[in-house]
Amino acid sequence: MVAPTPIPLAEGFPDALQALRAQMVDLTLRHTDGDGSRPTAIPCLQLIKASCTAPRTAPALYEPGLVIVLQGRKKVELGHETLYYDPLHFLLVSMTMLPKGQVIDATPEKPYLCVRVSCDTPTLAELMLEVGPAGSDAPPQAQSGLNVAPVSESLLSAALRLMQLLDSPQDQRVLGPLLQREIFYRVLTGPLGPRLRALAQQDSATRRLSRAIDELNRRFHEAISIDELAEVAHMSASTLHQRFKQLTSMSPMQYQKQLRLQHARRLMLGGGLDAAAAAHQVGYESASQFSREYRRLFGTPPRADIEQILRAS
């Protein structure tokens, strides 16, 4: 399934959203000093900037949370599905996913800017109990771990107030978690609410699949069988395989392989490890196999890939 390209901003951006977005753009530019993803003093908040479009779609690790684009546009591919998100549409990541992403609208004068607000399942479950039932007897089944929906004024307002805490360090510890909850309350009561409810409900198929994904994330460097994952998810092995592929567009073992390669890339970038050491640390016994699979996923051998990223940063 291919999502339609969003409406151009000049034709569809309401004045109220434009005013909120302008303040968020100013905050992002003041609190970022270069391209890339930047953590902030608020644990759930990250700021992201890119001054040019990406030459190709690159695989990445997307962790649970909400991505609100303030300027520019990005696309993400998961299997045969392509989603676009921009200042009119936010991206909801329901659980840890491994799609391919590409910034498709960015210039040095008008860089791609976005904010990411993370969440965790216990917080969502607690919030869902407070909100009450959704009015549907059956919990929704997992369709995809990635979803796009129109951004609302109430959601953008809550995100702006969270970002404004960057200028009020004394308020961050108390007000940060409250605004994080408000942001996900807005999602929970909006069009994508059923997806969040499925993730938080203990007995839903989505929640059980999420437990299998969590297990793979914890033990990505170990040999783990489909039967072990099925036991964690309380499903048969065949059902797990089918639903896992529906949700992530890959099998559990393919997912684990990509997790290993993503973590190895981080070790080489942030930890200064060479390819052989990184390969061993993430569970590869053969350095040559690691190099082949790394090149297949990222398009270039490990050393060349890392050098290219460091030159661009």
If you write DSSP's letter for every residue of 272-299 in order, what string do you get? ---HHHHHHHTT-S-HHHHHHHHHHHHS
Torsion of CA 261, 264, 266, 269, to 10 degrees: -120
- Which of the four pLDDT bands, split at 50, 70 and 90, describes residue 133? low
Q: pTM value?
A: 0.84
Is a pLDDT exceeding 70 seen at residue 134? no
Please provide the average confidence, as pLDDT, over all residues in the chain.
Answer: 88
* Over residues 41-58, mean pLDDT: 92
Mean pLDDT along residues 226-233: 94
Among residues of the chain, what percentage have pLDDT more than 70? 89
Q: Left (φ > 0), alpha (ψ -120 to 50) or beta: where does 65 sit?
A: left
**Is the CB of residue 81 less than 8 Å from the CB of residue 145?**
no
Distance CA 190, CA 233 (A): 28
- The more confidently predicted of residues 290 and 56 is 290
Residue 202 is predicted with a pLDDT of 62
Per-residue pLDDT at 7 exceeds 50: no
- Using pLDDT thresholds of 50, 70 and 90, give the confidence band for residue 58: confident
pLDDT one-digit tens code per residue, 203-226? 678 778 888 999 999 999 999 999
Mean predicted confidence (pLDDT) in 179-186 = 94
> How far is Cα of residue 240 from the mean position of the Cα atoms in its chain?
22
Q: Report helix, strand or coil for 61.
A: coil
Residue 119 pLDDT exceeds 70: yes
Q: What does the pLDDT read at residue 309?
A: 80
